[in-house]
Structure 1
Amino acid sequence: MSYGVSVALQSAIYQCLQSDAALNSLIGTAVFDEVPGGTIPSTYVTLGPEIALDRSDKTDAGALHRFTVSVVSDAPGFSNSKAVAVAVSDALHQTALGLSRGHLISLVFERAAASREEAANLRRIDLRFAARVEDN
C-alpha cells in the first residue's frame, strides 16, 4: 500500500473546488480544509474524514481513498445546501485531477447524507467520494 499520494490528492481536490465557477457563484471561496476561527460564512464546504485502503498490485503501489466533502449551512431548509452539494458533486464528477505525485485512476461519487444539527440550527450534507490512485 502507498499513502504517498494522499497529500497530492487532497490538494488537487481542494484546488478543484476552489476554482469551480458554479461553486464559486454559490459560496465564493468558502472552501476549507479546516474551518477558520472567528466569523464563518453562512454556507461553506469543508474537506472531511478519509479512509485509505490498499489497492496495490504486482506492478504498482496504489490505494483507494474514500473521503468526505461536507456542505454546512445555517440557511433554512435544505434547498440552499443541496444546490451547493450538487455543485460539489458536479465539480468532482469524473474530473481529471492533475496530481503532483502519482496519478488518479478514477474518482466517483458514492453517497450523500443530509442531516440537521438542531442545537446549532445548521444543515449538513456529507458527500462521500472514492478516488483510486497509483503511486508510480
Structure 2
Amino acid sequence: MTYAVSFALQLAVYQTLASNVPLADLIDDNVFDAPPTGTIPQTYVVIGDETARDKSSKTSAGAMHEFVVNVVSDTAGFATAKQVAAAVCDALIDMDAALNRGRLTALNFYSARAVREDSPGIRQIDLRFRAYVEDD
C-alpha cells in the first residue's frame, strides 16, 4: 500500500471543484481545503476527512481513498445545499484528472448525509466519495 498519492489526489479534487463553472455559479470561489475563517460565506464547499485502504496487487502499489466533501449553508432549508451537492457530484464522479503523482483509476460517489447542525440555520451535506489510485 502507499499513501504517497494522497496529496496529488487532494490537489486534483480541489482544482476540479475550484475550476468548475456550474459550481462557481452557485458558490463563487468558495471552495476550501480547510474550514474557512473570518467572514464565513453563506454557502461553501470544504474538502473533509479521508481514509485510505490498501488495494495493491502483486505488480503495482495502489490504494482506495474514501474522502468527504462537505457542503455547508446557512440558507433556510436544504434546497441550496442540495443544488451545490449535485454540482459537486457532477464535477467529481468519474473525474478525468491527471495527478502530479500516480494515476486515478476511478472516482465514484459512495454516500451522502444531510443534517441540520447545532448552530441555528446551518445545513450540511457530507458527500462521501471513493477514489482508486495507483502509484506508478
Query: What residue is the counterpart of 1:50 in the other structure?
Result: 50
Q: Which residue of 2 aligns with 1:74?
A: 74
**Structure 2 gaps, min length 5:** none
Q: Deviation per CA, 1:56-114: give whole Å up to 9, x if none.
A: 01010000000000000000000000000000000001111110000001000001100
Q: Percent identity?
A: 54
Say whether residues 1:2 and 2:19 are aligned partners: no
Give the partner amino acid of 1:114.
A
TM-score of the pair, normalised by structure 1: 0.98
How many residues align? The count is 136
Residue 120 of structure 1 and its aligned partner are, at CA, apart by: 4.0
Q: Structure 2 CA distance, aligned partners of 1:117 and 1:108?
A: 26
Deviations 1:6-61 (A, max 9, x none): 00000000000000000000001100011232101000000000000000010100
Matches of 1:35 and 1:118, distance apart in 2: 16
Q: CA deviation at 1:121?
A: 2.3
Structure 2 counterpart of 1:91? 91
SS for the counterpart of 1:119 is: coil
Name the SS of the counterpart of 2:119 in structure 1. helix
Measure the CA separation in 2 of the matches of 1:37 and 1:73.
Answer: 15
- Separation in 1, partners of 2:23, 2:106: 22
The one-letter amino acid paired with 1:31 is V
Query: What 5-or-longer segments of structure 1 have no aligned partner?
Result: none
Give the Cα–Cα distance (whole angstroms) in 2 for the partners of residues 66 and 22 of structure 1. 24
CA distance in structure 1 between the aligned counterparts of 2:120 and 2:3, rounded to whole angstroms: 35
User: Which letter does structure 2 place at the counterpart of 1:35?
Assistant: P
